[in-house]
Amino acid sequence: MISRSRLVTRRLYFLTRSFVLQSYSAIRPFSILTMSKALESKFQTAIDSGKVNGAVICAINSKGDFAYNKVLGQRTLLSGEKRPQQLDDLICLASATKIIATIASMQCVEDGLLTLQGDLSNIAPELAEKKVLMGFSEEDDTPLLEPAKRPITLEMLLTHTAGTSYDFLDPVIGKWSSKYKPKDGGKKTVEDMFIYPLSHQPGESWMYGSGLDWAGRIVERVTGNTLEEHLYERILKPLGLKNDAQFQPVTREDLRERLVELNPDDPEGHGYAVMGEGASINGRTEGCFGGHGLAMPASIFIKIIQSLLANDGKLLKPETVDSMFQHHSSPEAHAGQRAKLAGPLGSFFRVGIGEDIKVGHGLGGVLTLEDVDGWYGSHTMTWGGGLTVAWFIDRKNDICGIGAVCAALPLDGETKKMATELKDVFRKDIYHVYDEWKGKQ
């Protein structure tokens, strides 16, 4: 006859064993997925080469029952001490900031503070005053300027069709900046930094630029809050997320302690390992730059884009999210985008998408306009940040993700090439991981 104490012990044993097995079952898919190991081994090989310090990869589906979070490698503290990189470490998002500024802009549209096609002249008179730079006179090298034919709209800013090109990407605008942009060393606002003329008539072509920086300022003007305040109140809080984000410069000590880019090679944490020499802009900015300035953990960024994937209504109305994933540009502007994709910067603007795939532009990023076999579904939105960050939202296949390579400085040619290859590994191989996981359900 079994004693009462032994019976209780056996019951506890089986209850404990059952709990352990259930817990193991919950995590088991990732413990046995061969594709996840293959993905991680490619990143680890790069880390072992010394060209990459670490990486963070996050992917999730709309329900969250598929959630892949992997952190590899080490980061170096300012003291020189090395420690394993953590999932809640902050990364420099660079241009991945743009999707955050897009969400904020569309919230203002929903609130009745802005419209997509409305004239922004009263809100942003600096934009209304801009003329279009057609080139330079052959006689005296003075700029040839013509008036804008139409007002700039929020939709143009969100789709890079306003003509607000970056001067470091457009040689004609770059020449104007080198001749006329003030050279003083003071801090620059969005208005100061992007003082140069338009590169093309608003709405008539496409060129990557400062549209989202301007959109962020417009959000600030119509709401009366900084973009950082808006981020916390309207994006992080509704998702139940901690306020673990700050626009450059990162000054909060609790965040600086976790800022991957803050290290002996980048003692101010400007993000040189992400943006190259372009990161110097983060030491010269004043205020929030919605086009490039945010530092945030990948674990928070993935939750934000998951909300768009799930279309859960927490950040934006379902119909608003649906509209973001539609192609938004005129036939002229779309032709301009195609021309840029076929040009010298085409591989950068295609963000890993093949030349044979039709693409357009949604509100927040580049869109695939057709299915890509075994990969992106039609109307997948994607973009990146600097040289090392990539993200995507694939509503058709129900998956979104962010991958960030933490490159070692200096950023030589081999390191840049490796970072580009690893972003492609992330974009493609995470689908293999997801497919294998689905096959085991």
Catalytic residues: 95, 98, 208
State the chain's maximal CA–CA distance in angstroms.
110
Instruction: Return the H-helix or E-strand segment holding 404.
Output: strand 399-407
- Euclidean distance between CA atoms 46 and 58, whole angstroms: 18
- Percentages helix, strand, coil for the chain, rounded to the nearest 5? 45, 15, 40
3-state SS assignment for residue 359: strand
3-state SS assignment for residue 37: helix
CA-to-CA dists, residue 168 to 196, 207, 416, angstroms: 12, 12, 18
Contact 161, 202 (CB under 8 A): yes
Contact 70, 40 (CB under 8 A): yes
276: nearest Cα among 383, 167, 412? 412
Residues forming a β-bridge with 198 = 132
The structure tokens 């036939």 sit at: 331
Query: What single string gives the DSSP state of each residue in 43-64?
Result: HHHHHHTTSEEEEEEEEE-SSS
DSSP character at residue 238:
G
What is the identity of the amino acid at 365? G
- Euclidean distance between CA atoms 81 and 127, whole angstroms: 47
Helices marked H in 232-311 — which ranges? Answer: 253-256, 272-275, 298-310
Query: Counting Cβ atoms within 10 Å, is residue 136 exposed (0-12), middle (13-18) or buried (19+)?
Result: middle
How many residues in the chain?
441
- Euclidean distance between CA atoms 87 and 297, whole angstroms: 7
120: nearest Cα among 135, 130, 134, 110? 130
Contact 367, 359 (CB under 8 A): yes
- Euclidean distance between CA atoms 224 and 319, whole angstroms: 26
